[in-house]
Amino acid sequence: MDLIIRNARLRGGTENVDIAVEGETISAVGASYPGGAAHEIDARGNLVLPGLFNLHYHADKCLLGEIMRPNVSGTLPEAIEITNEFKRKYDPVEVAARAVRTIEQGVKNGTTFFRLFCDVGTIGGLRAARGLLLAREKMKKYCRIQVVAFPQEGIVRDPGAAELMEEAIKEGCDVVGGLPWYEYTDDEARQHIDICFALAMKHDLDIHMLADDTDDANSRTLEYLARKTMHEGYHGHVTASHCGAMAAYNDVYAAKVVDMVASAGVTISVNAHINLVCSARLDREPRRRGIARVKELLARGANVITSQDDVNDPYYPFGKPDPLECALMMAHVAQLTLPQELDQVMDMVTVNAARAARIADYGIAAGMRADLVVVGARSVHEALRLQPPRLHVFKDGREVARSTMTQELLP
């Protein structure tokens, strides 16, 4: 045996167990595993989770807050404007260096799977894509990474973007991104979605779009995205992020869209901390929270996740990145505070995210991939409340990060 994690507490468990790992795979989970291993760790009754996910992360823009002017209005349009000023001079090596800094931090926080978004369009060309593909190569022994070809300036309103997305896929991007609400008209937004589906289906790739990331109640790209997903039989292959306009929909229309999303198997990534900062900036009091209708989506059985999205860039000046911090923010903003709701929140950065990424060998059971995190807490509630260190992080059975930080109260 290569690795045994002893005295591990699993979610919902009342007794400690041992987790035995052979190579890259969990071989057994149970009490008092017999024999030894080349590497043994005593979890001391702490919570062990499968590897955490960050499925929506604009790593090409990360840390731009260190070198760019601030977003004075705090709005999405100004954030896009600021970023475009810098994108014209993107250097792939510099993009990769910034991304690697934050990916390393994410791994230390227990993230073993990232989905990185790179802007692809006529302003920056393929520079961001090449930078994140370089970062993926540099970090491949620490985590799994997908790279999304993301048309930040639109597709119809940015002639040439579709061809650049095709080229980005040929160079190694493995998810088709989209931003349909940013097009000028509803018809062009639908064309945008159609183009993305054609690309994805041609190359057998998943789709991850930012839908209705606006305060405008008339922004309704999510409805068409769900219908298109059903029409094309792409159930389980599509994720939509933000969907903040849903907060402004009337209840009847919102209920219809929620039902369509669940029926189509579209995952919704609600990055609550981002929406709370960027949305409703022009609202008079009382202000809406500006997030999708999380509780209604959950009640209907939709797959809901939460992700980091941004780290110290013109959209959001904070971020570690840390999936447990994102989960804690989600619990606050969506008012998910009951014990069973905290479990739902933890699912958003674990099992729900794995479902969205279509990772079948995920979880803590024999035969699953040995991506594991030992958290310095005894329960889901404690892990969210305390935001403790990730004591040990494993990717494919190999320890890739550990925390040695201690705190003590002196006499």
Classified as helix, coil or strand, 105 is helix
Q: pLDDT tens track of the chain, all 411 residues?
A: 999 999 999 999 999 999 999 999 999 999 999 989 999 999 999 999 999 999 999 999 999 999 988 999 988 788 888 888 888 889 999 999 999 999 999 999 999 999 999 999 999 999 999 999 999 999 999 999 999 999 999 999 999 999 999 999 999 999 999 999 999 999 999 999 999 999 999 999 999 999 999 999 999 999 999 999 999 999 999 999 999 999 999 999 999 999 999 999 999 999 999 999 988 888 889 888 899 999 999 999 999 999 999 999 999 999 999 999 999 999 999 999 999 999 999 999 999 999 999 999 999 999 999 999 999 999 999 999 999 999 999 999 999 999 987 888 999
pLDDT at 404: 84
Alpha carbons 355 and 146: distance in angstroms, whole number:
15
Angle between helical axes of 251-264 and 221-232 (0-180°, round to 10): 30
pLDDT at 281: 86
User: Strand 3-8 relative to strand 17-22: parallel, antiparallel, unpaired?
Assistant: antiparallel
Q: Domains of the chain (ranges plus CATH)?
A: 3-50+362-402 (2.30.40.10), 52-357 (3.20.20.140)
pLDDT at 129: 99
Instruction: Give the strands of the sheet with 17-22, arranged side by side.
Output: 25-30, 17-22, 3-8, 39-42
Angle between helical axes of 186-203 and 221-232 (0-180°, round to 10): 30
Alpha carbons 59 and 231: distance in angstroms, whole number:
32
Alpha carbons 182 and 97: distance in angstroms, whole number:
29
pLDDT at 182: 96
Phi-psi sector, 363: left (phi>0), alpha (psi -120 to 50), beta = left
